[in-house]
Structure 1
Amino acid sequence: MTAGTPATRRVAAYARVSTDNDEQLSSYEAQVDYYTRHIKSNPAWEFVEVYADEGISATSTKKREGFNRMIADALIGKIDLIITKSVSRFARNTVDTLSTVRQLKEKGVEVYFEKENIHTMDSKGELLITIMSSLAQEESRSISENVTWGQRKRFADGKISLPYGRFLGYEKGDDGLPKIVESEAKTVRLIYKLFLEGKTPSGIARHLTKSSILTPSGKQKWQTSTVTSILQNEKYKGDAMLQKTFTVDFLTKKKKVNEGEIPQYYVENSHPAIITPEVFDLVQHELKKRKNAKGYKTGGGCFSGKIICGECGGFFGSKVWHSTSKYRRTIWQCNHKFKNNNKCQTPHLYEDKIKEAFLDTFNSLLENKGEILQNYEAIINDLTDTSEFEKESAKFQSESEVAAELLRKCVEENAHSALDQGEYQQHYTSLVERYEAAKKGLDEIDNKRLERNAKRESIGAFIRMLEKSDTLLTEFDEELWNATVDAVTVHPEHEIVFTFKDGMELNSKI
């Protein structure tokens, strides 16, 4: 029999897993194998293909190449029936599922959801579409409400709940709000301090484990992920992002990260802060900076992550020469010196010479201390002015609200009446792009504000340290080094440039 005759249905299947661990990938392979055998075993069916997306999130529509290709094939008449595991595994959300099912139905293509035992062409399928229409309306409200992301908005009741049993630094107070546990808050502040001094989260984890400081859950060994989570959690500066996760299945209590399915709200000053907002912003800025840095890593030394090769832009790392003899010395050289075809010509540096150069350079600052401090008032005033950002932020916020409301109306109209799904998808996509462009603009403004606040805090710390230093240095001070030096750039011919945290650059020979 030929394809397309009444007795032969051209059948395809769709399989997807949402993570990339081994267990889920074996499940993915099993699904592909199962659907291939299942379709081929039915004499009334002609096997088309098992379309699949491996190891990706359902919300990542741009990466769902298998799904998008299957829908395109179905719409041009290559498929009569699509089999898939469940409604939740089919499209990224109810809004998309409703539109896709309607599009396919218009072209006479049926979808069978195994778990729910629903065929979209029968009466149960009609009921499913009715239910999805209702859910799509709810989701469209969420789209509109998601405009509150990032807004400094306080809930009327202000009730914030934390998982106190595994959250370092807080306990539940008598008023039901988080209360600082000072003995634990010291560890949180230490983590932030060590990070700003140049240590990586993994280095901090090793330090805390070695110091016998217990983890939030009371364990001996610290994980890098725990340190990173503490460094990124806004609750330590007294704010709270609500609904970061939500329950997907109320029976299994399964939760997932909120990627826009339900509204999130940012509550400012919701509880006492352990870390000042300025220090928190400085850490977020430093995290981004290190992420983009070439080969950033630190060991235990204060020079790690500070010394940069002027040729390749990579960091210097330490090596010990003559480790077992009396001539033992620690040297620093570019980590990429021997990795490139064109070897970096920057010299290696002896640790004691770096210290000497710092003493000379910082003492030259102290000799001009009065003049330097006098010029800072105007600089700080310039850096604290965020009025230009406020105007731009208001403009993007207004645009995102307009786009979100248009999106809501678009989805609601499609839920109430079956529009031409091609035209609907085109209109919906253009509104999503408009909304996302406004959100991107808001994010960029927030990043600029973050950079400005971080710079202001760095300059403030530099000034405070300079004001405290009354006499010329006679020996290397590690705390002073960490507090004042942002980077040391090494050039050939033993030329080095100290960049201080206020942005000032001073040349030196080594």
Structure 2
Amino acid sequence: MGYIPYGFVQKPAGIFIEPQQAKVVQQIYQRYLAGDSLEGIADFLFQNGIPSPQGKERWTRPIINCLLSNEKYAKYIISSDDYSTVQIEKEKRSNIDKDTGKRKATRYSSQNVLSGLLVCSECGANYRRITRPSGEVVWRCANRVEHGKRICKHSPSISEVLLREDICKLLEMDSFHELNVEKFTEGIHVQENGTLEINYKEQEFSLVMRG
């Protein structure tokens, strides 16, 4: 195995899994798959008094990133499926174009009418449209994506399918039409329990109600 990665220990009889460190590795992978940022994971480890592989109080983002890229954990400490899913997620979150080596303008889709309307009721940040490795499209608070629970602790992720259904009910539309959503709403606040609170463009909406 060469050098001994965090989560393993060298003994006279060979290399073995170190149970406590292996549990930390599993937590890091689980939190990343749940949507935590590298900074958010570092905060979690610090708050729980878990020292870094170098014995320091705080983990750094590069160390966590390397741990998430170490294929030696696959099969031994985490499943091969989880390892592969993390690599896909890392690619999606990457802000560097591998072909050009240049920084991309954005990591998330913003070509959607809801990008400028959905607002987190907890921290006030906009919601972002994100495609998960499974192909499911969800909307998440931008602060939660970038900083984990350090800034925004309770904002929910919302399936785009359910989001559109709820908006249709609130606007009394038979089907989702972006132009109508943009025309009649000033903002849509996402509550901690996942419900939506719409700020209507009063003049436009009152005309519809009277009509």
Give the Cα separation in 2 of the matches to 1:171 and 1:227.
19
Give the Cα separation in 2 of the matches to 1:309 and 1:334.
13
Encode CA deviations 1:233-284: one digit per residue, 9 max, x unaligned.
101114xxxxxxxxxxxxxxxxxxxxxxxxxxxxxxxxxx111000010000
Q: How does 1:425-436 map to 2 (within 5 A)?
A: none
The yes-or-no answer on 1:278 pairing with 2:70 is no
Larger Rg belongs to: 1
The equivalent residue for 2:60 is 223
SS at match of 1:217: coil
Q: How does 1:481-496 map to 2 (within 5 A)?
A: 485=159, 492-493=181-182
Select the residue among 331, 348, 358 that pairs with 2:124: 331
Select the residue among 185, 192, 201 that pairs with 2:22: 185
Shift of 1:210: 2.4
The equivalent residue for 2:3 is 162
Letter in 2 for 1:168: Y
Q: How does 1:381-420 map to 2 (within 5 A)?
A: none
Structure 2 residue runs without a partner (length 5+): 96-103, 137-153, 168-177, 189-195, 199-211
Encode CA deviations 1:332-386: one digit per residue, 9 max, x unaligned.
4268xxxxxxxxxxxxxxxxxxxxxxxxxxxxxxxxxxxxxxxxxxxxxxxxxxx
Q: Is the 8 A contact 1:295 1:315 kept in 2?
A: no
Q: Is the 8 A contact 1:205 1:223 kept in 2?
A: yes
Give the Cα separation in 2 of the matches to 1:209 and 1:289.
26
SS at match of 1:331: coil
Q: Is the 8 A contact 1:201 1:227 kept in 2?
A: yes
Letter in 2 for 1:227: I
The equivalent residue for 1:150 is none
The equivalent residue for 2:112 is 310
Select the residue among 3, 7, 10 that pairs with 1:172: 10
Size of the alignment, in residue pairs? 143
Give the Cα separation in 2 of the matches to 1:486 and 1:162.
44
Considering only aligned residues, what root-mean-square deviation do their CA atoms show, in Å?
A: 4.1
More helix by share: 1
Give the Cα separation in 1 of the matches to 2:3 and 2:57.
22
Give the Cα separation in 1 of the matches to 2:17 and 2:116.
41
Letter in 2 for 1:234: E
The equivalent residue for 1:417 is none
The equivalent residue for 1:210 is 47
Letter in 1 for 2:73: Y
Normalised to the residue count of structure 2, the TM-score between the two structures is 0.52
Give the Cα separation in 2 of the matches to 1:330 and 1:169.
36
Letter in 2 for 1:186: K
Give the Cα separation in 2 of the matches to 1:212 and 1:313.
37
Q: How does 1:284-295 map to 2 (within 5 A)?
A: 284-291=87-94, 295=106
SS at match of 2:124: strand
Give the Cα separation in 1 of the matches to 2:7 and 2:37.
21
Shift of 1:161: 2.6
Q: Is the 8 A contact 2:116 2:126 kept in 1?
A: no
Pair 331,236 (structure 1): closer, same or farther in 2 beyond 3 Å: same
